[in-house]
Amino acid sequence: MKTTKVYFVFILFLIGWSCNNDPLNRVPVAYLPAVQQALQRAGENQHALLEFLKACKGQEMEGAAFLLAYMPQRDLQSLSPEFLIENIKYAYQARKVAPWGDRLPDSIFFNYVLPYASIHERRDDWRKQFYERFLSLVKNASSPGEAAVILNEKIWDMLDVHYSTQRPKADQSPFESIEAGMASCTGLSILLVDACRAVSVPARFVSAPMWYDNSGNHSWVEIWDNGWHFIGAGEPGPLDETWFVDIAGHANKRDWKYRIYAVSYKKTALQFPDFFAPAVDYLYAIDVTDRYSRTPSQLQGQNVELRIKVLDRKSGQRLALPVRLFSGKTLIASGRSRGERNDLNDMLTFKAPPGAVLTVEVNNNGKKITRQLKTGFEKIQQVILEVD
C-alpha cells in the first residue's frame, strides 16, 4: 500500500515537473495560438525556439511570445536560441536603465524596440555590442527624442560609417555597413534604428518609394517620444527638421509609390513596398503619408526652389563649397553645397521668385565662380555648377 502511494506521488511530481518545464505553459494566452503556429512552421528549428522560450523569465516571456507570434518564416527556420536570448535580454536591460523606460507603452516597446531587424537585411547580432558602446552616450538624456539626436550626432564618426554612393549594396545590415565604412540612406537608417533600439529608444524604418516628381526615393527613421518624430540618419540635427521636409510635403496617396511608409514588425493590413527586394512578402507597414504631406494651400506660393549642385569638372563628384545667391548686388541667400557624404537627393536649396534674373556665386578656395540665370516657372529647378 505504501509503495502504491509513493508511486502515485512520484507520478504527480513528474506531471507537475513536466508542466512547469513546458515553456508554452508560461506563454500569455493571447499569444498562445500564434506561438504554437510559429513553432509548427519552424520545422527543424522548433527545438531552438523552444530553448529560447525556456530561457525567458518573468516579463521577458511576453516579449518573446510577441516576437515569435509575428516572426517572418525565414527567421523561424534559421535564428538560433543564443541570438534570440541575447536580443531579448539586452532589450529588457536597456528598458530598465533608460530614464524613460518605464514610460514606454508595451505596444511601443514590443513593436519598435524588441525587433532585431528592420527590413530584409542580414540578421546581425548587434544588440549587445551597440548597448555596450552607445549607452554611455545617452546616459544624461532625459527622453528618447533627445537620446536619438545624440546618437545621430555621435555614432557615425565612432563607427567610421558615412553616406556614399560607392557602398557595396543599398540594403546593408549594420555590420555590413561598418565593415564597408559607407552606406546608402537605407543602410544608414537600418543602423540608426538598431542603435536607438539598443538603448531603448523606440525607432522604425521609414521609406518614400518615389518622390512626387520622380526625382528619386529616400529612407529615414522615425523616433517615438510621446508621438512619432522623424530624423535623417547620418544627417545630424533636431527632430522634425531635415532637408527633405519640403519634398516630403508633396507626398500623396494617388499612387502607392508616392506614399510614405513606416515598417511594423507586427502584422498589419498593409504590406511594406520593399523596392530592393520586391519578392519579399513578410514586411508590413503603416501608411504615414498624412504626417508629412501638406494641403494644396500650404504648398502654394510664388517662389520656386533652386536646387544647387556643385561638381568637380574632372571627376564629376559633388563638392561642398560656399554658395551665395544675388539679385543684382543684393545678397538674398547663402549656404553650402552638398558633398559626396550627403544623400544624392539632398541639395542646397534656395527659394526665389519665378522670372527673376539672379547670380549664383561659388567660392572654391578663394576663387569665385559666378553664373547668371533666370528662374523659370517650374516649381523645382536644378542648377549645376562645375568648378576646376
pLDDT at 297 over 70: no
Q: What is the mean pLDDT of residues 293-309?
A: 74
pLDDT of 236-247, one tens digit each? 999 999 889 888
The pLDDT of residue 305 is 83
* pLDDT tens per residue across span 59-84: 999 999 999 999 999 999 999 999 99
Confidence of residue 303 (pLDDT cuts 50, 70, 90): confident
13 pLDDT tier (thresholds 50, 70, 90): very low
Residue 21 has pLDDT above 90, yes or no: no
pLDDT digits (tens, 9 = 90+) for 203-255: 999 999 999 888 889 999 999 999 999 999 999 999 999 889 888 998 988 89
- Report the pLDDT value the prediction gives residue 20, as an integer from 0 to 100: 53
Q: Which pLDDT band, with edges at 50, 70 and 90, does 368 fall under? A: confident
pLDDT of residue 10: 35
- Lowest pLDDT segment from 18-22, 115-119, 214-218, 342-346: 18-22
- Comparing 5-14, 77-86, 346-355, which segment has the lowest mean pLDDT? 5-14
- Asked whether the predicted pLDDT for residue 384 surpasses 50, the reply is yes
Residue 2 has pLDDT above 70, yes or no: no
Residues 6+ apart with CB under 8 A from 102: 95
Of 155, 186, 160, residue with least CA distance to 172:
186
Condensed to tens digits (0 to 9), the pLDDT of residues 79-134 reads 999 999 999 999 999 999 999 999 999 999 999 999 999 999 999 999 999 999 99
Average pLDDT over residues 17-36: 83
Sign of the CA dihedral with 241 first, then 244, 250, and 256 last: negative
Q: Cβ(125)–Cβ(87) under 8 Å?
A: yes
The b-or-e profile of 35-48 (16+ CB within 10 A means b, else e) is beebbeebeebeeb
pLDDT at residue 108 in the model? 97
Percentage of the chain modeled with pLDDT above 70: 93
Backbone angles phi, psi at 298, to 5 degrees: -70, -30
CA distance 182 to 138: 24
Residue 330 is predicted with a pLDDT of 80
Whether residue 367 is predicted with pLDDT greater than 90 in this model: the reply is no
Q: What nine digits make up the cell of 13?
A: 511530481
296 confidence band (pLDDT: 50, 70, 90): low
User: What pLDDT sits at residue 88?
Assistant: 97
Amino acid at site 144? P
Q: What sign does the CA torsion over 142, 99, 238, 296 have?
A: negative
Q: How many beta carbons lie within 10 A of that of residue 153, not counting itself?
A: 12
pLDDT of 12 > 50? The answer is: no
Mean pLDDT of 347-367: 87
Q: What is the mean pLDDT of the chain?
A: 90
- Identify the pLDDT of residue 132: 98
Share of residues in the chain with pLDDT > 90 (%) = 67
Res 300: pLDDT:
57
pLDDT at 11: 41
The whole-model pTM stands at: 0.84
Region 176-185 average pLDDT: 97
Q: Name, in order, each residue with C-beta under 8 angstroms of 196's C-beta and a sequence gap of 6 or more.
A: 144, 147, 148, 151, 202, 203, 221, 223
Residue 193 to residue 144: CA distance in whole angstroms: 12
Question: Per DSSP, which regions of the chain are E strands?
Answer: 162-163, 182-183, 203-208, 218-224, 228-231, 261-264, 270-271, 284-287, 304-312, 322-327, 330-336, 348-352, 357-364, 367-374, 380-387
